Amino acid sequence: MSVSERESSPGSPASDGGRPKRVRLVGAWWGPTVGLTGLGLISAIELGRTDASREVFFNVAQPWAVYVMLAALVGLLVYGFGRHATLWAIGQPTPGILREIPMRVRNAVRLGIGQEKVRRDPYAGIMHFCIFSSIIVLTLVTAQVAIEDDTPLSFLNGWYYLFFSFYGDLFGLIGLIGVGMALYRRYFSDFHRIRWDERIEDHAIIVGLGLILVTGFMVESFRIYTTELHGFVLEDGTQLEAHPDWARWSFVSYVIAEFLDIFSPTQGHMLAAHTWSWWGHVVLAFGWLGLLVFTRLDHMIFAPVNAFFLRTDAPGRLATIENIEEQEVFGVGQIQDFTWKQLFELDACVRCGRCTEVCPADVSGQPLSPMHLIQDLKAHLASVGPDLQNAGHTNGDVRSVSPIEMVGDVIKDETLWACRTCGACMQECPVMIEHVPTIVDMRRYLVMNEARVPAAAQGALENIEMRGHPWRGTTLTRESWMEDFDDVPIFDGSQEYLYWVGCSGSLVERNMPITQSVFRLLRESGASFGVLGQEETCNGDPARRLGNEYLYQILAMQLVETFKAKNVQKVITNCPHCFNTFRNEYPQFDGHFEVLHHTEFLQQALEDGDLTPRHSVGTSVTYHDSCYLGRMNGVYDAPRQIIEVLPGVDLTEMRRSQSRGLCCGAGGGNMWQEEIGERRVNHVRTEEAVGTGADEVISNCPFCIQMFEDGAPAIQPDEEGRIRPFDVAELLERSVLGTENGS
């Protein structure tokens, strides 16, 4: 079975199944830029066989002051980042952070410098590219000037000087386009998310950058006017040489300089304007770079570094608490309980709001905004960090330093419980913050350390402890679904696959028919498989996501032993949550199995001809990606490939699909919680499914199906024409076996 589909996920952004075509257009922006630059280069080489050059510090007295400012800036940066670093250092060690360096370097280049995630918002992608490339190129321009001046090297002459003039202006212009786009979005559009937490620094950064670029062009055009266009005679009698043919290479400043003629400025005015704008430009530039220490401008550095620190393993995997019985504190209750990488991440946040924009909780008016959560933690770190450091130095009681509780006061309990662990925030974050593990770490503290659990979630956890499944009050047994068959094989180690039904697949009435469909299809395909029946038990996923790591570890270790004792090699799961747990999390407990979701197996069976879709189904469907099959494991294609080959099935995608899919609302243990907020997530998502006009919403997860079953009557009170939720397997069965489950 194909594992290549796994790539796209919050952690590894590679083959993004969810990338619409317009995002690729952003990539095309490189084309004209590189093309124009290349054209300039060739022209300069061809046409510029001259002695073109210019005086570096033309018309500037005391140029050494620049180096004083540079030294001050470097000092400020060292001091500022040093202070940041001492705050990060109060965090705990980050295991494995220096493992897999080549992949980390790749991430830093692709996600940090290549800005893959930034481009998921095309407007921001183009804007960012303009500003980013402009800053890089213009910094190189300035560096070359410094090298020309301060070293014996001399290269700013002849064709290279002309080319240098050309690309300097080109990227100055590109920068201005980017700044213009930013100004438009911030001040003239109704674009909301960047204003959710707007601060003075945001205006300073963008206006400052605009002024630097504008003053840069002013300096250049005044110089060109004075020298290359008019060849003034200076006070000391120096005759400047006019070279309009050189001036044209600085095509932006040249045009401005030509316009200056309208005002017929005097030589004195021109030289004074040049001096003033020169110093203005330099002071602005250094001042702006100083913002690196105080503002979110630091993302210029922190984003690629955080991309380097990004996890290299599966995004659906939560970290294990090693030696859990020996811990003094369970989970993260205070800021210093985080790893230093988690603290570093707080500084990387740019408040862009992308995470919150896609968060199912926030979309439904529930009390969680990932952006504000990160910002609140960051503010808390800044407020208690220094005292924590002092307490650490004096061996004081660090746990009593903070006057307020981080979990409870700074971050409210209900905020942590509202998270679906769907990973949409991590998928979108342009600076690669990993919100979900941070949230689950705090849940661990709530559950294990403080025993503060919402009643319904507590019921699910207790039920797992007592009865080995989260479905309190079920009247079904794990073998109820088998009663319709007399040939369900029990797994004994001789079969190739273990078909893992899961708690929902056997104990929830709506999910039982899905299990039966999968069973009939497996039987039809001729696969060698068996089930565990009464011996199945919860694999611990809900416990882990709800924060009870202890309970999870007990269940996981037991089940790994059971699997080994039964000689399980390959597992087919009904449920994407079981799938993720077996595939990504059981290796943490030495459980290494080949794990397939039933849609992957069935797709392969179709491809191999083991299943034949004979019957025309005659329905229109939309497909909902479950978070743990889609975003967390990158399986977007297999279920769609099944749907697409079925005769008489018309597939319409929802606006949010694949990696951008919206959670059904049940993830992260929210299947067993009461929702608080304006709306229910499943109602929002059902509305989107209904909006496609499809007869059926097809999914692959028992929770999603239940959420749609609940959402459909709420959104469409009239039973006539109401959308009906089905699993991929149920739809497939209709075509392969001609059954009528739902038609």
Stretch that binds other proteins, among 127-135, 243-251, 448-456, 518-526 (CB under 8 A): 448-456
Can you tell me which of 41, 204, 476, 676 binds other proteins, judged by CB under 8 A? 476
Amino acid at 398: V
Of 423, 424, 600, the C-alpha closest to 3 is 600
- Name the residue nearer to other proteins (CB basis): 448 or 606: 448
Joined tokens for residue 695: 């007869």
> What are the helix (H) ranges across 468-590?
502-507, 512-525, 541-546, 549-565, 576-580
Strand order of the β-sheet with 594-597 is 529-530, 497-500, 570-573, 594-597
**Least Å from the CB of residue 397 to other proteins:** 18
- CA–CA separation, 726 and 83 (whole Å): 55
Can you tell me which of 480, 652, 739, 741 binds other proteins, judged by CB under 8 A? 480
Per CB under 8 A, 400 contacts other proteins: no
**Which run of H or E residues covers position 42?**
helix 30-47
Per CB under 8 A, 455 contacts other proteins: yes
- CA–CA separation, 506 and 247 (whole Å): 79
Residues 99-138 interacting with other proteins (rule: CB under 8 A): none
- CA–CA separation, 65 and 62 (whole Å): 6
- What separation in angstroms does the CA of 351 have from each of 156, 346, 355, 375, 617? 41, 10, 9, 8, 48
**Least Å from the CB of residue 458 to other proteins:** 5
- CA–CA separation, 475 and 496 (whole Å): 31
User: CA-based Rg of the chain, rounded to a whole angstrom?
Assistant: 31
Stretch that binds other proteins, among 291-299, 441-449, 595-603, 651-659 (CB under 8 A): 441-449
Task: Report yes or no: 497 and 570 within 8 Å, Cβ to Cβ.
Answer: yes
User: Residue 726 in 3-state DSSP?
Assistant: strand
Of 659, 519, 735, the C-alpha closest to 18 is 659
**Least Å from the CB of residue 531 to other proteins:** 14
- Cβ burial of 305 (10 Å; 0-12, 13-18, 19+) is middle
Per CB under 8 A, 307 contacts other proteins: no
Stretch that binds other proteins, among 50-58, 139-147, 362-370, 443-451 (CB under 8 A): 443-451
- Name the residue nearer to other proteins (CB basis): 212 or 318: 318
Can you tell me which of 94, 458, 562, 739 binds other proteins, judged by CB under 8 A? 458
Residue 595 phi/psi, 5-degree rounding, is: -120, 130
- Name the residue nearer to other proteins (CB basis): 473 or 609: 473
- How many C-alpha atoms does 492 have within 13 Å on its Cβ side? 4
Per CB under 8 A, 691 contacts other proteins: no
- CA–CA separation, 409 and 416 (whole Å): 12
Per CB under 8 A, 671 contacts other proteins: no
**Least Å from the CB of residue 322 to other proteins:** 15
- Name the residue nearer to other proteins (CB basis): 498 or 522: 498
- CA–CA separation, 325 and 548 (whole Å): 13
Per CB under 8 A, 189 contacts other proteins: no
Stretch that binds other proteins, among 173-181, 306-314, 369-377, 447-455 (CB under 8 A): 447-455
- Name the residue nearer to other proteins (CB basis): 225 or 330: 330
Per CB under 8 A, 472 contacts other proteins: yes
Task: Report yes or no: 208 and 292 within 8 Å, Cβ to Cβ.
Answer: no
**Least Å from the CB of residue 371 to other proteins:** 31
Per CB under 8 A, 453 contacts other proteins: yes
- CA–CA separation, 227 and 274 (whole Å): 11
Angle at 722 between CA 716 and CA 728, to 5 degrees: 125
Amino acid at 258: E
Can you tell me which of 2, 86, 154, 477 binds other proteins, judged by CB under 8 A? 477
Amino acid at 333: G
- Name the residue nearer to other proteins (CB basis): 61 or 466: 466
- Name the residue nearer to other proteins (CB basis): 474 or 670: 474
- Name the residue nearer to other proteins (CB basis): 226 or 449: 449
Joined tokens for residue 706: 């239940």
Amino acid at 741: N
Can you tell me which of 261, 535, 561, 590 binds other proteins, judged by CB under 8 A? 535
The CB density around residue 200, as the number of other CB atoms within 10 Å, is 8
The secondary structure of the chain in percent helix, strand, coil, rounded to multiples of 5, reads: 60, 5, 35
The CB density around residue 718, as the number of other CB atoms within 10 Å, is 7
- What separation in angstroms does the CA of 189 have from each of 109, 183, 197, 353, 356? 32, 9, 16, 16, 19
Stretch that binds other proteins, among 136-144, 274-282, 464-472, 730-738 (CB under 8 A): 464-472
Can you tell me which of 53, 227, 250, 449 binds other proteins, judged by CB under 8 A? 449
**Least Å from the CB of residue 574 to other proteins:** 19
**Least Å from the CB of residue 466 to other proteins:** 5
Residues for the chain: how many in total?
A: 743
Per CB under 8 A, 450 contacts other proteins: yes
Per CB under 8 A, 448 contacts other proteins: yes
Joined tokens for residue 439: 């949230």
Task: Report yes or no: 341 and 309 within 8 Å, Cβ to Cβ.
Answer: yes
Per CB under 8 A, 475 contacts other proteins: yes
Give the per-residue contact string, 537-566, with other proteins (x = CB under 8 A; - = no).
Answer: -------------x----------------
Residues 322-381 interacting with other proteins (rule: CB under 8 A): 324-325, 330
Can you tell me which of 6, 185, 467, 679 binds other proteins, judged by CB under 8 A? 467
Can you tell me which of 152, 473, 609, 717 binds other proteins, judged by CB under 8 A? 473
- CA–CA separation, 447 and 443 (whole Å): 6
- Name the residue nearer to other proteins (CB basis): 382 or 476: 476
The overall longest dimension of the chain from CA atoms, in Å, is 108
Joined tokens for residue 106: 């790749």
Stretch that binds other proteins, among 63-71, 306-314, 336-344, 468-476 (CB under 8 A): 468-476
**Least Å from the CB of residue 490 to other proteins:** 14
- CA–CA separation, 11 and 426 (whole Å): 7
Per CB under 8 A, 248 contacts other proteins: no
**Least Å from the CB of residue 80 to other proteins:** 40
Q: Site for other proteins (CB under 8 A): how many residues? A: 28
- CA–CA separation, 505 and 488 (whole Å): 15
Per CB under 8 A, 461 contacts other proteins: yes
Q: Which residue has the tokens 């243990």?
A: 669
- Name the residue nearer to other proteins (CB basis): 333 or 385: 333
Per CB under 8 A, 447 contacts other proteins: yes
**Least Å from the CB of residue 549 to other proteins:** 9
- Name the residue nearer to other proteins (CB basis): 324 or 382: 324
**Least Å from the CB of residue 478 to other proteins:** 8
**Least Å from the CB of residue 569 to other proteins:** 25
Per CB under 8 A, 318 contacts other proteins: no
Note the residues at the interface with other proteins (CB under 8 A).
324-325, 330, 447-451, 453, 455, 458-459, 461-462, 466-468, 472-478, 480, 534-535, 550
